Amino acid sequence: MGFDGLALRASVSQLQALVGSKIQKVYETRGGHSIILHLYKRPGVHRILISADRVGARLHLTRRKLRHPDRPSNFCMSLRKHLSPGIITSIDQVGLDRITHIRVDSRDDLGRRRCLNLIAETMGRFSNIILTDEDDEDKILAALRFSSPDRNAHRTVLTGHAYRLPPQKEALSLLDVSSEDLLAKIPSAKEKPPPAWLWLVQNVSGPGPDEARRILRAAGIPPGDHPPASSDLMDALAGELNGCGRAIAEETWKPYMILRDDSDHPSPLPYPVSFGVIPTDDGSAGTIRTLPSTAHLLDAFYALKEERERFDQVKKEINKSLTSTAKSTRRRLQHQQKDVASARDRERHRRFGELLTTYMHLVSGGTSEVTLSDYYNEGKPVTIPLDPQKSPAKNAARYFNRYRKLQRAEVVGKKRLRATRVELQYIMSLLDQVDRAETIHELLDIRSEAARAGYVKVDKKEAGKGRKPSRRSPYRTFLTPSGTKVHVGRNNRGNDHLVSQVASKDDLWMHVKDIPGSHLILPGPWDNDEMPELEVLEEAAILAAYHSAARQSSNVPVDYTLVRNVQKPRGGKPGMVTYRGQRTLYVTPPGKLTGYQEIVHR
């Protein structure tokens, strides 16, 4: 996935058109690891992104509008001082290494011309952005990351010191490599050979790890094996490398990215695996998407990667909070069940009180227990514990008081128990929606709902800024294989919207029985005597089961009834309804929906 020398060469090739541009502004992005040069060259404004992020280091033309920090760093202010306004005179890559020199014709404070060199070292964890003065022996004027002699014995990066290139490796040029050259780089028998992909990266300038693996697979060499000593395989490898070299010389770039969908159901947000600028037939698993230029490729790839990472992060945070809340709610439910069960023992206290009242003349004070004939149990003897400090009458009153207290506790306990069961069901529905969410907007809607319920904590700064409501419809519309239109809620908000605002009283409502899931509406009109055909009902029921927590189960019960029989309880939680007059279908949802067509709402 890394940005290697080949991708940089393609990017620099595209940037050549910006030579002669005027640097109008210099910004940095949030996180402080990237800068953006705003350039003007007729017919308009252009932006160059230089990222020294240790994971996403790169340099390319960009159309993305990335967010800036409220206060620029000292490094950004220094670049503004020296570079703006300046004219870019050249943009050059150092060989096929990941180092780019952007030379700028600028002016000092006294108006004298000076030649500055903005150096982008997009080298993974060693990435850096350095500004030097070429007229003053390439002395460093500013740097994103400094390195003193005690931290790096090979190179010092400090203000006022002369700039030196990072240590260069003795590698073969991708532009002119032969099988003999490659065989000469095979480690000796005494040396421990590295994997073939690492050997290729170390000995040929340009390809990164991903590109090296693709080139090796295209040449028939397993990337994880040792470098082969076979002349036939080396001939094939040299042929692949020479093909890359010709593409570089002729600048025949064909940018592409490889995507993979790891979810259990189709998602519009796949995982970006890797990218390249020179396609190789290596049989890579995944979907290959081609793009019109290197700038489009890098913008699209890293935008998708950032969105995917944010999606996964938000999903993980919500899942963690809701899972913890569900766990504590289950514990509370268990305690309440025990309290209700213990309250059911109240009749024993009432019986003891009545027996003590009836046989008061047989009970003497100062004793800890008394055995009496239980007329509630065929006169069998029963032993009743007593408080020796109390009189027989007060002992009887104590049992009656305990009976009334347990009676009240059972009423309150059952009410709390019902509320806790509803709350747990609601939390489980939120967890199901998080699991089925397909976009970051759906996740943020769920997080907002969970935050309002007190289940998820939201950062105060983020909550203060607010978030625009999603423009996406709160429900989805599908055509079933038979051509029937049905509506499915995206989340609790969508479920409520469907039932209260979209559906009519004569439409058909569906939901999996006693399992979290989406509400489904099958437009009518229908009535109890005229229901849809069984085929239509089963297709809709499959869709309802698929959009539920039971989508991987078999024989899923799906209830259906008219919308007129569905009611929202007063004060009920989002997505919660009660219904009556239902019938039940049993269906098995497929692993992936086939034959169902989603209609996109505009």
DSSP states of 526-590: -BTTBPPPHHHHHHHHHHHHHTBTTTT-SSEEEEEEEGGGEEPPTTPPTT--EE-S-EEEEE---
Contact 512, 550 (CB under 8 A): yes
Residue 326 backbone dihedrals phi, psi, to 5 degrees: -65, -40
With the C-alpha atoms ordered 81, 84, 89, 95, is the resulting torsion angle positive or negative? positive
Residue 267 inside a domain? The answer is: no
Q: What is the mean pLDDT of residues 398-402?
A: 86
Task: Please say which residue of 426, 452, 470 terminates a domain.
Answer: 470
Are 60 and 18 spatial neighbours (Cβ–Cβ below 8 Å)? no
| Contact criterion met (CB below 8 Å) for 375 and 381 | no
Question: Which residue in 546, 474, 481, 479 sits closest to 510, CA to CA?
Answer: 546
The whole-number pLDDT of residue 284 equals 60
3 state DSSP class of 250 = helix
The per-residue b/e assignment along 224-242, b for 16 or more CB within 10 angstroms, e otherwise, is: eeebbeeeebbebbbebbb
Of residues 364 and 79, more confidence is placed in 79
Residue 327's domain comprises 313-470
- Joined together, the tokens standing for residue 53 give 């992020």
Are 127 and 121 contacting, i.e. CB atoms less than 8 angstroms apart?
A: yes
Higher-pLDDT residue of 279 and 87 is 87
CA atoms in the 13 A half-sphere facing the CB of 585: 23
The DSSP element (H or E) to which 363 belongs, if any, is: none
Would the pLDDT of 101 be above 90? yes
State how far the Cα of 532 lies from the Cα of 561, in Å rounded to an integer.
Answer: 12
How high is the pLDDT of residue 201? 92
Q: Which of 85, 93, 97 lies closest to 40 in space, CA to CA?
A: 85
Res 487: pLDDT? 94
Residues 533, 465 share a domain: no
d(CA 509, CA 559): 8
Q: Are residues 107 and 138 in the same domain?
A: yes
Domain count, the chain: 4
Q: What pLDDT is attached to residue 470?
A: 57
31: domain CATH number is 2.30.310.10
User: Measured between alpha carbons, how far is 523 from 435 in angstroms, rounded to an integer?
Assistant: 27
Which pLDDT score is estimated for 465? 47
HEC letters along 279-315: CCCCCCCCEEEECCCHHHHHHHHHHHHHHHHHHHHHH
At residue 464, the pLDDT reads 44
- pLDDT tens figures, 202-220: 999 999 998 999 999 989 9
Residues 27-86: pLDDT tens digits? 999 888 999 999 999 888 999 999 999 888 999 999 998 888 889 999 999 999 999 889
Q: Determine if the peptide bond prior to 474 is cis (ω within 30°).
A: no
Q: Are residues 329 and 442 in the same domain?
A: yes
Same domain, 10 and 127: yes
Are 433 and 528 part of one and the same domain?
no
Q: How confident is the model at residue 347 (pLDDT cuts 50, 70, 90)?
A: confident
- Any idea what the CATH number is for the domain that residue 243 is in? 1.10.8
Please state whether the predicted TM-score (pTM) of the whole model is above 0.85. no
- If asked whether residues 342 and 393 sit together in one domain, one would say yes
Instruction: Kindly state whether residues 449 and 498 are assigned to the same domain.
Output: no
DSSP state of 135: G
pLDDT at 395 over 80: yes
Q: Which of 128, 143, 158 is the last residue of a domain?
A: 143
Considering the domain architecture, whether residues 462 and 480 belong to the same structural domain is answered as no
Mean pLDDT of 244-259: 91
Q: Which two tokens stand for residue 186?
A: 């095979």
β-pair type (172-173, 204-205): parallel
Q: Two tokens at 220?
A: 């028939």
Cα 587 from Cα 28, distance rounded (Å)? 55
Per the DSSP assignment, residues forming a β-bridge with 257 are 275, 289
Residue 28 domain-assigned?
A: yes
Same domain for 460 and 497? no
In a domain, 162, yes or no: no
- Rounded to whole angstroms, how far apart are CA atoms 25 and 13? 23
H/E stretch holding 38 reads: strand 34-41
Strands of the sheet with 556-562, listed across from one edge? 583-587, 556-562, 508-512, 520-522, 485-489, 475-479, 597-599
Question: pLDDT band at residue 264, thresholds of 50, 70 and 90?
Answer: very low
302 in a structural domain: no
Residue 159 domain-assigned (yes or no): no
Lookup result for tokens 């809620």: 489
Between CA 436 and CA 439 the distance in angstroms is 9
User: Helix, strand, coil proportions of the chain in percent (round to 5)?
Assistant: 40, 25, 40
Question: Looking at the predicted structure, is the pLDDT value of residue 559 above 90?
Answer: yes
Q: 220: exposed, middle or buried (C-beta count within 10 Å: 0-12, 13-18, 19+)?
A: middle
Residue 281, pLDDT > 80, answer no
Of 512, 427, 338, 445, nearest to 419 by C-alpha is: 427
Identify whether 281 is part of a domain.
Answer: no
- Structure confidence at residue 268 as a pLDDT band (50, 70, 90): low
Q: Give the burial class of 355: count Cβ atoms within 10 A of its Cβ; 0-12 exposed, 13-18 middle, 19 or more buried.
A: buried
Q: Using the structure block, give the residue that is written with the tokens 């180092």.
A: 99
For residue 147, the 8-state DSSP code is B
- Measured CA to CA, the distance from residue 303 to residue 63 in angstroms comes to 11
- Domain check: are 581 and 506 in the same one? yes
Q: How far apart are the first and last CA of the chain?
A: 35
Per the domain annotation, does 274 fall within a domain? no
Same domain (yes/no): 131, 197: no
Residue 23, pLDDT above cutoff 80 = yes
Question: Quick check: 543 and 574 in contact, CB under 8 A?
Answer: no
Task: Please give the biggest Cα pair distance in the chain.
Answer: 118
CB of 514 within 8 A of CB of 483?
no
Are 180 and 128 found together in one domain? Answer: no
Residue 256: both structure tokens together: 């592409």
CA distance 159 to 300: 36
Average pLDDT over residues 347-356: 83
Per the rule left: phi > 0, alpha: psi between -120 and 50, beta: everything else, 569 is beta
Contact 12, 5 (CB under 8 A): no
Distance of alpha carbon 56 from the chain centroid:
17
In a domain, 58, yes or no: yes
Output the pLDDT for position 267: 58
On the 0-12 / 13-18 / 19+ scale of CB atoms within 10 A, 366 is: exposed
Asked if residue 276 lies in contact with residue 290, where contact means CB atoms within 8 angstroms, the answer is no
**Weakest mean pLDDT among 347-361, 371-385, 391-405, 465-479:** 465-479
Q: Are 261 and 289 in contact (CB under 8 A)?
A: no
Look at residue 571 in the predicted model and tell me its pLDDT.
83
Rg over alpha carbons for the chain, rounded to the nearest Å, is 36
Distance CA 587, CA 585 (A): 6
Highest mean pLDDT among 290-304, 338-352, 439-453: 290-304
Residue-level pLDDT at 50: 96
Q: Of 204, 223, 252, which one is at a domain's C-terminal end?
A: 252
pLDDT tens per residue across span 429-480: 999 999 888 888 888 989 988 998 889 887 655 554 445 555 678 889 999 9
